[in-house]
Amino acid sequence: MEALLTKKVAIVTGGASGLGLAIATRFVAEGSKVVIADIDQQAGEDLVARLGTNARFIKTDVSKPSDITSLVDFTIREFDGLDIMVNNAGISGKVYQRFLDDDLADFHKVIDVNLLGVMLGSQYAGSYMAAQGSGSIINISSIAGIKPGLPLISYRVAKAGVIHFTKSIARELGEYAVRVNCIAPGHIPAGQTFYDMSEMVARVQPLKRQGAPMDVANAALYLASHLSEQVTGLVLPVDGGSCLGGPLPQQQG
């Protein structure tokens, strides 16, 4: 049976660690050539050394338009095309800071990476895909963008923006057979986890197992492959059912 991403070329931003690492690894295993874009040069180069000849690395700050244009140009030059864009790079901001004490510079930084970075990646990759008449853009949001709450106000605002941005451009790019979808991971340890969430997950999630980065990678594989060729504008929670609400009455206590 042929691998799902044979002859495909993908970019994964924030691909050197966490969810991005899992996605890049899964894509290479399914036959894709992958360019890993990350601010962490050492981690990116180490990952490429492990993944082999179908992987490349380029240091990228996704909040800078010049870095994104260089990323897309590099990918096309190295692998002669671009079929899949995964906008995964993200930062959490100051985790325990109240909104009333929020620092404007920190707020801007989170928005610039988590929302502007997605917009830039989608625009530059989407322009190439529209011209070729095919492609898949996958934006990584979060259930924090679906459910209001505290803390991480700037993070939640950015991730909510990613969801609405995804749906909006899916309508425009559909004309060019470019699909745009969004994954909203739940409580998944992925390099930005500051405390053990396993007990909380068992208490509030309908599916009691805490998710892993490879769960998100499998969802990304579906959205990148021909298996989802009629799917666009989708927001896919990978959250064990967290978005369904709290525990049932008989589960409490």
Which residues are marked as active site? 155
Enumerate residues 6+ apart whose C-beta is below 8 A from 190: 17, 18, 19, 22, 213, 216
Structure tokens at 46: 């180490």
- Report whether 208 contacts 240 (CB < 8 A): yes
Are the CB atoms for 210 and 189 separated by under 8 Å?
yes
Mutual angle of helices 18-29 and 213-224, in 10-degree steps: 50
CA distance 224 to 216: 12
- How big is the CA angle at 121 (ends 119 and 126), to the nearest 5 degrees? 95
User: Do 241 and 207 touch, CB atoms closer than 8 A?
Assistant: yes
C-alpha dihedral sign at 225, 228, 230, 232 = negative
